[in-house]
Structure 1
Amino acid sequence: MSTFSLNMEIADNRHYNGQLSSLFTAAEAKKALAFHSGIEGYQSTPLQSLDCLAKEFGLGKILVKDEAHRFDLNAFKMLGGAYAIARLLCDEFKLDINAFDFDKLKNDITEKMTFATATDGNHGRGVAWAANKLGQNAVVYMPKGAAVERVNSIKSLGAECIVTDMNYDDTVRLAIKTAAQNNWKVVQDTAWEGYQEIPTWIMQGYTTLALEAVEQMAEQNVKAPTHVFLQAGVGALAGGVLGYLASIYGPDKLHSVVIEPETADCIYRSGISANGEMVNVDGSLDTIMVGLACGEPNPIGWPVLRDCATQFVSCDDAVAALGMRVFGNPLGTDPRVVSGESGAVGLGLLAAIHFHKDKADLMQKMGLNKDSVVLLINTEGDTDPLNYRDIVWGGKYPTMA
């Protein structure tokens, strides 16, 4: 195949200090996993090994934690939303999260609570799913341009879904304002002054997938990954997962790469800032990676990324589209992975490096070689089926002119 060059801005983290977070420890991850494993239908999502592709790319191993198989939701987000709602209900009814029982609590609650959130799709569906499981109400706000399929999937879970004429960050502000007026509980995966506990619970909920991956790597005789690629919107997933993995393997032994779309690269810009302060990105935030279309970093996640991430990457949409196509058309005996726009950007980055005319230099810059073991997180499947087919079948967002 011919070489081609996609836009990828790769920056070393100038603020790295290796300071571990006290919020995303092994103990907290085990607590979250114990909760999730008590939900009916729970099973670990697969950790797929793309051995033929790794050989093609000149790597030792490519491992993919495939969250498209998380319950029946096609994405990882319920791990955070369900855990946070459960913690909220435990506080409200003086219950022990370690003995949480969905069915018992659903029957015991006499007055319904309403949970509100803003979402690009997957987080809102996770909140709606958890509220539905517990017989509660959910109101979900979505930014302009939300796909009809994502709206309908939220409504199918019994939630009210309101599509605004605003971008994601302004939609969050609307959800907060409306919730305050109606005495609803906000379940949002970012934080602000006076709102820290719930987003922390959400991020701790995400560590379940990381703990599962660590256990699965041990079962596959993989001692440790050398690299982890993490996509970032507000940085909640990236912060929670990196915080846990850094505590397990050591931040200095794990080459961690945080990836964003170039139109919503608030984490990247924060990483290259002079003082390590959070940098917001304004505007429409338009990208096919709708789950990453966020312009304001999570204040809980950013310190973890600032202290422990190795590199930050800002890339164009064609990188994610390339990842979707490579996932969906496996080499040799590799399994096929159905990955949505936000889920595929990690593999897209690896593929874009492989096909780049400056591959050798890029590999060296990212510390990649024949011994590298790269862990990727496929955060979602085809949550927008029509767009998935337009990209994978129709060649939308091409890599070659």
Structure 2
Amino acid sequence: MYLNSQAKDWTSDREIHPEILSFHQQLPEFTETPLRRLPSDICQKLGVGGVLVKDESTRCGLPAFKILGASWGAYRAIAERLDCSTTSSLEHVRNLAQETEICLYTATDGNHGRAVARIGKILGVQASVFVPRIMLPKTREFIKEEGATVTIVDGDYDDAVRAAETESKVAHGILIQDTAWPGYEEIPKWIVQGYSTMLTELDQQLKPLYGEGPDLVVVPIGVGSLAHAVVGHYKQKGRRTMVLAVEPDTAACLKTSLERGQITTIETGDTSMCGMNCGTVSYTAWPHLRSGIDACITVTDSEAANAEDQLRDHQVSIGPCGAATLAAINKACRHHKEELHLSRQSIIVLLATEGPR
């Protein structure tokens, strides 16, 4: 486990955007996702006071949280191109967008691309999604069923991102990517802002249970955009929540970068945690993760699968990326409990980012 003892003293500069929740409430099938308490036997085994799962497996009728960021990022980008106010209704932007030939472009390991395709359908614009060659055919079909065109790239996720960027420039489309690099920063920041709805809900759900924020939040890492939102939220002035990041041991781009002190692109392998199979940390997320992540740990496919079974035994149906958070805390409580300052009073929240694959 990588440990950053300085993170406890770091404060984020997060800005509050109350209009984001109002925007999300306009989306079809939008509703608050559940916060589930895991049974006392799990807490006793871990030696903590409580473990709760923020279950994102049914967000807006999709099996993952990604629609929160993809929808806000796409809405903001389209509104800007159409010279609309960011307080314009979804219907107003949709009506204007249909008078143009806007096309959204993105690359994905699965859920982000499906979310971009869904918001494209909601807004009445075309979406073009680029995917790595190792993506399962069924995952590609889910994206196509949203009305998007799907292009298979002979390479990994990073190769798919480069292909989507190139094609978006050729076609004068809008790239809606949840990772950033120098020169492409604004839309990824909007996507990160979109994830704030999940964290606002979490605060409201925790308050009647414990009266304050959790002691530790565990967040899965792909390119780090969700973790960027989490760090920004929980490292605000006056908050003392620690953040533990988890990655597949075959795609530990954040842990590698933290250990080397700079963004480091790695070669990734195959993993059941497809949504976390990323080789490069987002450029705009990196400064916040470097300073605000308290610890970063890796888990194997087997450990994630065991955690998935453990959750299923307690009637919580979560996919491998979400279950990786339980795998992480299982491992951390065995080997690193003291470093994370965990006790029998500690409250832990696991961000379960997707449903079963």
**TM-score, normalised by the number of residues in structure 2:** 0.95
Q: Distance in 2 between matches of 1:31 and 1:260?
A: 32
Q: Distance in 2 between matches of 1:240 and 1:232?
A: 12
2:266 is matched with which residue: 256, 281, 284? 281
Q: CA deviation at 1:98?
A: 2.3
Letter in 1 for 2:266: V
2:228 is matched with which residue: 239, 242, 246? 239
CA contact (8 A) 2:29 2:61 kept: no
Q: CA deviation at 1:277?
A: 1.4
Q: Distance in 1 between matches of 2:63 and 2:25?
A: 17
Is 1:299 matched up with 2:249?
no
* Residue ranges of structure 1 left out of the alignment (5+ in a row): 1-9, 331-335, 385-401
Tell me the SS of whatever aligns to 2:279. Answer: coil
Q: CA deviation at 1:204?
A: 0.6
Letter in 1 for 2:322: G
Tell me the SS of whatever aligns to 2:278. Answer: coil
| CA 112–249 in structure 1, closer or farther in 2 if over 3 Å, else same | farther
Letter in 2 for 1:48: R
CA contact (8 A) 2:214 2:347 kept: yes
Q: Distance in 2 between matches of 1:216 and 1:21?
A: 23
Is 1:211 matched up with 2:190?
no
CA contact (8 A) 2:76 2:190 kept: yes
| CA 196–353 in structure 1, closer or farther in 2 if over 3 Å, else same | closer
1:338 is matched with which residue: 313, 317, 321? 317
1:36 aligned residue: 24
Letter in 2 for 1:31: E
Is 1:46 matched up with 2:34?
yes
Tell me the SS of whatever aligns to 1:344. Answer: helix
2:213 aligned residue: 224
Q: Distance in 2 between matches of 1:155 and 1:212?
A: 31
Q: CA deviation at 1:249?
A: 5.1
Q: CA deviation at 1:205?
A: 0.5
Tell me the SS of whatever aligns to 1:220. Answer: helix
Q: Distance in 2 between matches of 1:340 and 1:320?
A: 9
Q: Distance in 1 between matches of 2:148 and 2:58?
A: 22
CA contact (8 A) 1:20 1:304 kept: no
1:164 aligned residue: 153
Is 1:107 matched up with 2:95?
yes
Q: Distance in 2 between matches of 1:328 and 1:194?
A: 43
Tell me the SS of whatever aligns to 1:98. Answer: coil
CA contact (8 A) 1:323 1:349 kept: no
CA contact (8 A) 1:42 1:71 kept: yes
Q: Where do 1:2-401 residues align within 5 Å? A: 10-13=1-4, 16=7, 18-22=9-13, 24-25=14-15, 27-28=16-17, 30-52=18-40, 53-101=42-90, 103-108=91-96, 109-247=98-236, 250=239, 253-273=240-260, 276-282=261-267, 284-330=268-314, 336-353=315-332, 359=334, 361-382=335-356, 384=357
CA contact (8 A) 1:13 1:272 kept: no
CA contact (8 A) 2:298 2:328 kept: no
Q: CA deviation at 1:311?
A: 0.7
Q: CA deviation at 1:45?
A: 0.5
**TM-score, normalised by the number of residues in structure 1:** 0.84
Q: Distance in 1 between matches of 2:332 and 2:234?
A: 24
Q: Distance in 1 between matches of 2:217 and 2:197?
A: 16
Q: CA deviation at 1:17?
A: 7.2
Q: Distance in 2 between matches of 1:133 and 1:18?
A: 42
Q: Distance in 1 between matches of 2:169 and 2:348?
A: 43
Q: Distance in 1 between matches of 2:189 and 2:343?
A: 35
Letter in 2 for 1:74: P
Q: How many residues align?
A: 355
Q: Distance in 1 between matches of 2:280 and 2:48?
A: 34
Q: Distance in 2 between matches of 1:341 and 1:33?
A: 28
* Residue ranges of structure 2 left out of the alignment (5+ in a row): none
Q: Distance in 2 between matches of 1:57 and 1:380?
A: 23
CA contact (8 A) 1:47 1:64 kept: yes
CA contact (8 A) 1:323 1:345 kept: yes
Q: CA deviation at 1:235?
A: 0.4
- After superposition, give the CA deviation of every residue in 1:92-125 in whole Å (9 maximum; x if it has no partner): 2222222322x33323331231000000000001
| CA 222–327 in structure 1, closer or farther in 2 if over 3 Å, else same | farther
- After superposition, give the CA deviation of every residue in 1:338-385 in whole Å (9 maximum; x if it has no partner): 11111110111223456xxxx3x4322332221110011110001x2x
RMSD in angstroms over aligned alpha carbons? 1.7
Q: Distance in 2 between matches of 1:163 and 1:337?
A: 33
CA contact (8 A) 2:12 2:231 kept: no
- After superposition, give the CA deviation of every residue in 1:45-91 in whole Å (9 maximum; x if it has no partner): 01111142223322101111100020110100011111011101211
